[in-house]
């Protein structure tokens, strides 16, 4: 067997990809096959041949290449055990995947490569060296992992704003292990939900715009007991934003030359349609939902910036959180 050692960059990329929130088998095979393809010199496998390797063969190559690329010798594989337990608590893994998870990769030796400025999943990996209670570790250090709940939404606006509204109400998605996933439209929500059902053990919360009744009818027959759907009561997510918050956010950026008031809104139009018209009439750049959502996020400063329905959505997501309930009701 001949191979070239992994570079520091390769090690960090591999660790990052192995600890992302993604289906276990998919991410492990991607990382392991990349290492074998790029670093194993003899025997040399074509990419198509790798899929025929047994789990034990794959692990042998990975452990040899990865561990010999790190100077720190290690006999403590407690991190590996924690990762295996976590992956199996979230994902539905088959026997082949569990054999891949039951490895002796020198995670502990690789921790010296991870700094405090790394992406959150790498910081979480580093914290596992001393963590006994993974949930308590996440809550104490705001590490996001382990993930315990998924929120499936239509677009980027929800992805940007839901965590901000929730945090203002005292429910921090990172602290509580909530992963929000934008599907890219109501039809994609259905397809993604079907896919996640095959992969996930943890609860899924679905948030859909008002025009998605037909999509919900496709989802309901497959809806698990732990999953929940919230259909926006009127229009789309942006229509739940208080008009006063939209005006405040817009004027925070444009107050010196094109401020707006309530009179700029036509009641028969949706918030998005009004904003598109306002941007056009005032000669501004093209209105983009995601950019405006970031502007909204920066201007959430008081409880009146959060509509009753948004509060209710956060309450549903955070069911059982007494701190949140108290703040909403106060």
Confidence of residue 327 (pLDDT cuts 50, 70, 90): very low
Residue 212: burial class (beta carbons within 10 Å; 0-12, 13-18, 19+): buried
Residue 322 clears pLDDT 50, i.e. is over it:
no
Tell me the per-residue pLDDT of 191-207, one tens digit each, with 9 for 90 and over: 999 999 999 999 999 99
Taking the chain, what is the end-to-end CA distance rounded to the nearest angstrom?
Answer: 67
Tell me the per-residue pLDDT of 94-137, one tens digit each, with 9 for 90 and over: 999 999 999 999 999 999 999 988 999 999 999 999 988 999 99
What number of other Cβ atoms are within 10 A of residue 142's Cβ? 13
Long-range pairs of 9-14 with CB within 8 A, sequence gap ≥ 24: 10/35, 10/38, 10/39, 10/69, 11/66, 11/69, 11/70, 11/110, 11/113, 12/113, 12/114, 12/118, 12/122, 14/66
pLDDT score recorded for residue 89:
97
Tell me the per-residue pLDDT of 219-272, one tens digit each, with 9 for 90 and over: 999 999 999 999 999 899 999 999 999 999 999 988 777 899 999 999 999 999
Per the prediction, the chain carries an average pLDDT of 93
Global pTM value? 0.90
Residues 6 or more apart in contact with residue 202 via CB below 8 angstroms: 89, 90, 147, 148, 149, 150, 226
Q: What count of residues does the chain have?
A: 330
pLDDT score recorded for residue 171:
96
Residues 6 or more apart in contact with residue 43 via CB below 8 angstroms: 1
Rounded to whole angstroms, the Cα distance separating 205 from 307 reads 19
Confidence of residue 311 (pLDDT cuts 50, 70, 90): very high
pLDDT score recorded for residue 107:
97
Confidence of residue 325 (pLDDT cuts 50, 70, 90): very low
Residue 326 clears pLDDT 60, i.e. is over it:
no
Residue 330 clears pLDDT 80, i.e. is over it:
no
Domains of the chain, by residue range, sit at: 2-141, 149-237, 239-304
pLDDT score recorded for residue 128:
94
pLDDT score recorded for residue 96:
98
Backbone angles phi, psi at 82, to 5 degrees: -65, -40
Confidence of residue 329 (pLDDT cuts 50, 70, 90): very low
Residue 303 clears pLDDT 90, i.e. is over it:
yes
Tell me the per-residue pLDDT of 139-166, one tens digit each, with 9 for 90 and over: 998 899 999 999 999 999 999 999 999 9
Rounded to whole angstroms, the Cα distance separating 14 from 23 reads 15
DSSP-assigned letter for residue 212: G
pLDDT score recorded for residue 29:
98
Residues 6 or more apart in contact with residue 79 via CB below 8 angstroms: 107, 108, 125, 128, 129
pLDDT score recorded for residue 106:
97
DSSP string, 62-130: HHHHHHTT-SS-----HHHHHHHHHHHHHB---HHHHHHHS----HHHHGGG--TTS-HHHHHHHHTTT
Tell me the per-residue pLDDT of 29-83, one tens digit each, with 9 for 90 and over: 999 999 999 999 999 999 889 999 999 999 999 999 999 999 888 889 999 999 9
């Amino acid at each position: 067997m001949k191979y070239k050692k992994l570079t520091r960059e390769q090690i960090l990329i591999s660790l990052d990809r192995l600890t992302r929130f993604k289906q276990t088998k998919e991410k492990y095979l991607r990382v392991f096959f990349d290492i074998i393809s790029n670093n194993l010199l003899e025997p040399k496998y074509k990419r198509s041949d790798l899929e025929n390797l047994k789990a034990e063969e794959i692990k042998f190559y990975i452990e040899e290449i990865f561990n010999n690329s790190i100077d720190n010798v290690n006999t403590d594989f407690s991190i590996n055990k924690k990762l295996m337990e976590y992956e199996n608590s979230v994902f539905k893994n088959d026997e082949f995947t569990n054999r891949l998870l039951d490895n002796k990769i020198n995670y502990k030796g690789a921790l010296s490569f991870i700094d405090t400025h790394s992406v959150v999943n790498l910081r979480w990996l580093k914290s596992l060296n001393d963590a006994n209670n993974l949930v308590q570790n996440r809550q104490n250090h705001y590490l996001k992992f382990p993930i315990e709940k998924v929120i499936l939404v239509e677009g980027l606006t929800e992805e940007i704003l839901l965590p901000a509204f929730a945090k203002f109400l005292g429910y921090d998605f990172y602290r509580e292990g909530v992963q929000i996933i934008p599907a890219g439209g109501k039809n994609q929500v259905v397809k993604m939900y079907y896919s996640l059902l095959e992969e996930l053990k943890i609860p899924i919360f679905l948030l859909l715009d008002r025009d998605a009744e037909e999509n919900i009818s496709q989802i309901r027959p497959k809806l698990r007991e732990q999953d929940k759907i919230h259909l926006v009561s009127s229009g789309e997510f942006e229509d739940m934003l208080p008009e006063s918050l939209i005006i405040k956010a817009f004027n925070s950026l444009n107050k010196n030359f094109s401020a707006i008031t309530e009179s700029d809104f036509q009641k028969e139009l949706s918030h998005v349609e009004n904003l598109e018209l306002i941007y056009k009439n005032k000669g501004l750049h093209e209105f983009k939902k995601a950019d405006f959502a970031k502007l909204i996020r920066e201007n959430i400063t008081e409880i009146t910036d959060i509509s009753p329905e948004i509060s209710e959505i956060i309450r549903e997501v955070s069911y059982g959180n007494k701190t949140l309930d108290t703040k909403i009701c106060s």
